[in-house]
Structures are given as C-alpha cells and as structure tokens.
C-alpha cells in the first residue's frame, strides 16, 4: 500500500523532471544497444547484422521509450501538463500581450460580477416572497423608475417599516 502511494507520488513528481529523465533514459537505451551490438559482434555477426539483431531484440527504440514514459509518469496528466507549460512559455515570450490578456480577463470578470450582483439584487427585490409581501412598502415600479442610479437600488432605511 505504502509502496503504491510512493509510486504514485514518484510518477507525479516525474512530471516536473521530464527532460532530465528522458535524457537519462535515452542514454540508457543507447548503452543497451551498444552492449547488445558488442555481444552480437563477439558471436561473429557483421556490424550491420549485429545492430539489426540488437534492435529486433530490443523491440524498437521508439517503442521502448514510449513504453517507459507510460510507466514512469501519469499519461492522462502529462499531455495537459505539457500544454499548460507550453502556454506559459509562449506568454513569457510576449509579456505585452500577456499583460493585455490578463487585464482584459480581469476587467471582463470584474464587470460581469458587478452587473450580475446588481441584477440579482434587483431580481431578489422583485421576486423574493418576503420582500414582495405587504410589509415591503416600496412597490417594484419604484425600482424600475430609479433603476438608472446605483444609489436608488439600495433600500433606504425608511423603506423598512419599524
């Protein structure tokens, strides 16, 4: 159980050290091929045949690397993570655009929240059963008449009966 947890943690952490780990594995596969070729040559194969047999026994360089990566990290997390890093890199390359995009998003979200909070407040005044009961002295039409001003939207203290 602990070992499985440790494995999951290691797989997650490997997302942050991809380049180094990939490089190390590349070197390892290259060493594997060299060792296999050495042995095949010793058994009397020509250079070309030794290399060919080594590759066949390995099962392909690309397949080996892909298989290794699948087990080393979390495949379904790796692609989105890579996209995220790519996006960050691109944004860092053009800081002007980045600032503009962040400002546009911030202002957009800010204005939307303001407008919606006002709309919801207004709607609550109109539709909330308690507020539309007889105890609420200001009719809804008052709000629609005064709706253009923010101040008018706030219930004045006199509107609530003692």
Q: Which is nearer to another protein, 9 or 85 (CB)?
A: 9
Within a 10 A sphere around the Cβ of 37, how many other Cβ atoms?
19
52 binds another protein (CB under 8 A): no
Following CA atoms 91, 97, 102, 107 in sequence, which dihedral angle do they give, to the nearest 10 degrees? -170
CA distance 137 to 9: 62
Q: Which stretch binds another protein (CB under 8 A): 52-60, 106-114, 128-136, 146-154?
A: 52-60
121 binds another protein (CB under 8 A): no
38 binds another protein (CB under 8 A): yes
Cα dihedral sign for 134, 138, 139, 143? negative
Contact set with another protein (CB under 8 A) = 3-4, 6-7, 10-11, 24-25, 27-29, 31-32, 34-36, 38-39, 57-60, 63-64, 67-68, 70-72
């Amino acid at each position: 159980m602990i070992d499985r947890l440790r494995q999951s943690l290691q797989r997650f952490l490997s997302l942050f050290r991809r380049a180094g780990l990939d490089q190390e594995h590349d070197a390892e596969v290259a060493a594997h091929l060299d060792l296999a070729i050495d042995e095949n040559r010793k058994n009397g194969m020509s250079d070309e045949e030794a290399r060919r047999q080594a590759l066949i026994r390995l099962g392909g360089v690309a397949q080996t690397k892909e298989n290794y990566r699948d087990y080393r990290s979390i495949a379904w997390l790796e692609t989105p993570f890579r996209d995220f890093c790519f996006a960050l890199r691109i944004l860092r390359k053009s800081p002007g655009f980045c600032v503009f995009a962040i400002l546009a998003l911030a202002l957009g979200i800010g204005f939307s929240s303001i407008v919606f909070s006002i709309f919801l407040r207004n709607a609550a005044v109109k539709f909330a059963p308690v507020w539309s009961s007889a105890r609420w002295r200001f009719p809804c039409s008052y709000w629609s008449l005064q709706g253009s001003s923010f101040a008018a939207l706030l219930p004045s203290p006199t509107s609530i009966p003692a």
